[in-house]
Amino acid sequence: MPARSDRIKKGLERVPHRALMYATGIPGGEMKKPFIGVATSFTDLIPGHIGMRDLERFIEKGVHTGGGYPLLFGLPGICDGIAMGHRGMHYSLPSRELIADMIESVAEAHAFDGMILLTNCDKITPGMLMAAARLNIPTIMVTAGPMMTGRYRGRRTSFIRNTFEAMGRFRAGEITKEELDSCEKGACPGAGSCQGLYTANTMNCLTEVMGMSLPWCGTALANSAEKRRIAFDSGVRIVELIKKGVTPRKIMTRAAFENAIRADLALGGSSNTVLHLLAIANEAGVKLPLETFDVLSRTTPHITSLEPVGEYYMEDLHWAGGIGAILSRLKGVVKDNPTVSGKRIKTIISEVDYIDDKVIKPLDRAYHAEGGIAVLKGNIAPLGAVVKQSGVSDKMMRFTGKARVFDSEEEAMKAILGKTIRPGQVLVIRYEGPKGGPGMREMLAPTATLMGMGLGESVALITDGRFSGGTRGPCVGHISPEAMEGGPIALVKDGDTIELDIPARRLELKVDDRELQRRRQNWKTPEPKIKDGWLGRYAKAVTSANTGAVLK
Global pTM exceeds 0.85: yes
Q: How confident is the model at residue 242 (pLDDT cuts 50, 70, 90)?
A: very high
Which of 271, 468, 480, 544 does the annotation list as catalytic? 468
Please state, in angstroms and rounded to a whole number, the distance separating the CA atoms of residues 196 and 180.
20
Q: How confident is the model at residue 368 (pLDDT cuts 50, 70, 90)?
A: very high
pLDDT at 431 over 80: yes
Task: Report whether 219 contacts 356 (CB < 8 A).
Answer: no
User: Is 95 a known active-site residue?
Assistant: no
In the chain, what's the furthest Cα-to-Cα distance? Answer: 76
Cβ contacts of 175 within 8 Å, gap of 6 or more: 166, 169, 183
Q: Please state the φ and ψ torsions of residue 302, each to the nearest 5 degrees.
A: -90, 115
Task: Report whether 66 contacts 110 (CB < 8 A).
Answer: no
Task: Report whether 302 contacts 194 (CB < 8 A).
Answer: no
Task: Report H helices in 361-408.
Answer: none
Residue 344's pLDDT is what? Answer: 98
pLDDT at 471 over 80: no
Q: How confident is the model at residue 85 (pLDDT cuts 50, 70, 90)?
A: confident
Residue 351's pLDDT is what? Answer: 97
Q: Look up the CATH number of domain 33-148+191-350.
A: 3.40.50.2300
Please state, in angstroms and rounded to a whole number, the distance separating the CA atoms of residues 264 and 447.
21
Please state, in angstroms and rounded to a whole number, the distance separating the CA atoms of residues 72 and 64.
13
Residue 86's pLDDT is what? Answer: 86
* C-alpha torsion sign, points 350, 356, 359, 361: positive
Pick left, alpha or beta for residue 51 (phi over 0 → left; psi -120 to 50 → alpha; otherwise beta): alpha
Cβ contacts of 337 within 8 Å, gap of 6 or more: 211, 251, 253, 255, 256, 259, 344, 345
DSSP letter at 162 equals I
Residue 308's pLDDT is what? Answer: 83
Pick left, alpha or beta for residue 121 (phi over 0 → left; psi -120 to 50 → alpha; otherwise beta): beta
Please state, in angstroms and rounded to a whole number, the distance separating the CA atoms of residues 382 and 379.
6
pLDDT at 306 over 90: yes
Other C-beta atoms closer than 10 Å to the C-beta of 345 total 22
Give kind and range of the element (H or E) at residue 256.
helix 254-267
In CATH terms, the fold of domain 381-547 is Glucose Oxidase; domain 1 (3.50.30)
Give the range among 151-160, 346-355, 449-458, 539-548 with minimum mean pLDDT.
151-160
pLDDT digits (tens, 9 = 90+) for 165-224: 777 788 888 888 888 888 888 888 899 999 999 999 999 999 999 999 999 999 999 999
Of the candidates 216, 275, 284, which has an alpha carbon nearest to the alpha carbon of residue 255? 284
CB-based contacts of 527-532 (< 8 A; 24+ apart in sequence)? 528/438, 528/484, 529/408, 529/431, 529/436, 529/437, 529/438, 530/90, 530/438
Other C-beta atoms closer than 10 Å to the C-beta of 441 total 30
How does the average pLDDT of the chain come out, rounded? 94
First to last CA, the chain: 34
pLDDT digits (tens, 9 = 90+) for 472-508: 789 999 999 999 999 999 999 999 999 999 999 999 9
Q: Please state the φ and ψ torsions of residue 90, each to the nearest 5 degrees.
A: -60, -25
Cβ contacts of 122 within 8 Å, gap of 6 or more: 78, 80, 92, 198, 199, 200, 203, 272, 469
Where, residue-wise, is CATH 3.40.50.2300 in the chain?
33-148+191-350
Where, residue-wise, is CATH 3.50.30.80 in the chain?
381-547
Residues of the chain above pLDDT 70, percent: 99
Please state, in angstroms and rounded to a whole number, the distance separating the CA atoms of residues 20 and 9.
10
Of the candidates 229, 239, 242, which has an alpha carbon nearest to the alpha carbon of residue 63? 239
pLDDT digits (tens, 9 = 90+) for 435-467: 999 999 988 788 888 887 888 899 999 999 998
> Residue 224 half-sphere exposure, CB side, CA atoms within 13 Å?
19
Of the candidates 240, 246, 238, 452, which has an alpha carbon nearest to the alpha carbon of residue 337? 246
Residue 69's pLDDT is what? Answer: 98
Q: What is the dihedral of CA 174, 175, 177, 181, to 10 degrees?
A: -140
Cβ contacts of 256 within 8 Å, gap of 6 or more: 209, 210, 211, 337
Residue 414's pLDDT is what? Answer: 93
Q: How confident is the model at residue 319 (pLDDT cuts 50, 70, 90)?
A: very high
Please state, in angstroms and rounded to a whole number, the distance separating the CA atoms of residues 172 and 417.
10
Please give the radius of gyration of the chain, using alpha carbons only, rounded to the nearest integer.
23
Q: Residue 399: beta bridge partners?
A: 500
Residue 492's pLDDT is what? Answer: 98
How far is residue 105 CA from its own chain's centroid? Answer: 23
